[in-house]
């Protein structure tokens, strides 16, 4: 397998953590795509992923999976242990719920703020091959959304070890990456959010967490 990565970007980090948790990261070829230099928009990468985003996981038969969620599903089916998406049908549904909420209200809110305000992203307020102009009001709304998400996050963690219970899952991966991504726009988990801080210290300490 070949993994198209960008070591500084949050979405490929989600996939990289899952690859590491499944014990695959050391065995695959990693191709670094420098997003800051716009390599994702060059014809060489457009031939790999016409949507112009990383991560991309290329399978040995040449097919390519071009989203972190697609990669999570592939890895879970190909390498079931340790499970990262729940063990029972109910757990799988609940992990899916959590992951969707964290991606929608947390991860995407940061993207909304960053992409609508960063000077380097002018004309590229949404990912993908079509250009979109920035809407500064969405920058402010994205910041408000992630601040609110973090206010509510302590209750989402509660007294559980991991977000879905006793097992580490893709919900923990996406939430941890969300907390680190929020630092780009200078938003942090509240210091007094004891459950959230305890959870963050544990998940960040896993060998797979990387930076």
Ligand X SMILES: N[C@@H](CCC(=O)N[C@@H](CS)C(=O)NCC(=O)O)C(=O)O
Site membership for ligand X, residue 116 (CB under 6 A)? no
Site membership for ligand X, residue 53 (CB under 6 A)? yes
The span of 50-58, 72-80, 162-170, 185-193 binding ligand X (CB under 6 A) equals 50-58
- CA gap 98, 171 in Å, rounded: 6
Nearest alpha carbon to residue 61 among 2, 102, 10: 2
Site membership for ligand X, residue 68 (CB under 6 A)? yes
Radius of gyration (C-alpha) of the chain in whole angstroms: 17
Site membership for ligand X, residue 174 (CB under 6 A)? no
The span of 5-13, 18-26, 75-83, 189-197 binding ligand X (CB under 6 A) equals 5-13
Full strand arrangement of the beta sheet holding 2-5:
29-32, 2-5, 56-58, 64-65
Minimum CB distance to ligand X smaller for 11 or for 134: 11
Minimum CB separation of residue 120 from ligand X in Å reads 9
Minimum CB separation of residue 34 from ligand X in Å reads 11
- CA gap 17, 24 in Å, rounded: 10
Site membership for ligand X, residue 114 (CB under 6 A)? no
Residues that bind ligand X (CB under 6 A): 9-11, 35, 40, 52-55, 67-68, 124, 127
């Amino acid at each position: 397998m070949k993994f198209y990565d960008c070591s500084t970007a949050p979405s490929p980090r989600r996939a990289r953590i899952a690859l590491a948790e499944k014990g695959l990261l050391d065995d695959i070829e990693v191709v670094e795509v420098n997003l800051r230099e716009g390599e994702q928009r060059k014809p060489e990468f457009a031939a790999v992923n016409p949507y112009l985003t990383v991560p991309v996981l290329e399978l040995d038969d040449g097919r390519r999976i071009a989203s972190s969620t697609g990669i999570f599903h592939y890895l879970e089916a190909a390498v079931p242990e340790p499970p990262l998406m729940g063990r029972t049908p109910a757990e799988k549904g609940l992990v899916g719920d959590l992951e969707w909420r964290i991606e929608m209200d947390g991860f995407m809110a940061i993207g909304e703020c960053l992409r609508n305000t960063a000077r380097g992203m002018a004309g590229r307020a949404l990912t993908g091959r079509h250009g979109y102009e920035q809407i500064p009001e969405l920058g402010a709304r994205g910041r408000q959304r992630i601040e609110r998400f973090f206010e509510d996050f302590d209750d989402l963690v509660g007294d559980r070890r991991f977000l879905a219970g006793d097992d580490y899952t893709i919900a923990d991966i996406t939430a941890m990456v969300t907390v680190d991504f929020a630092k780009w726009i200078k938003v942090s988990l509240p210091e007094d959010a004891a459950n959230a801080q305890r959870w963050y210290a544990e998940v960040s300490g896993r060998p797979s967490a990387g930076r």
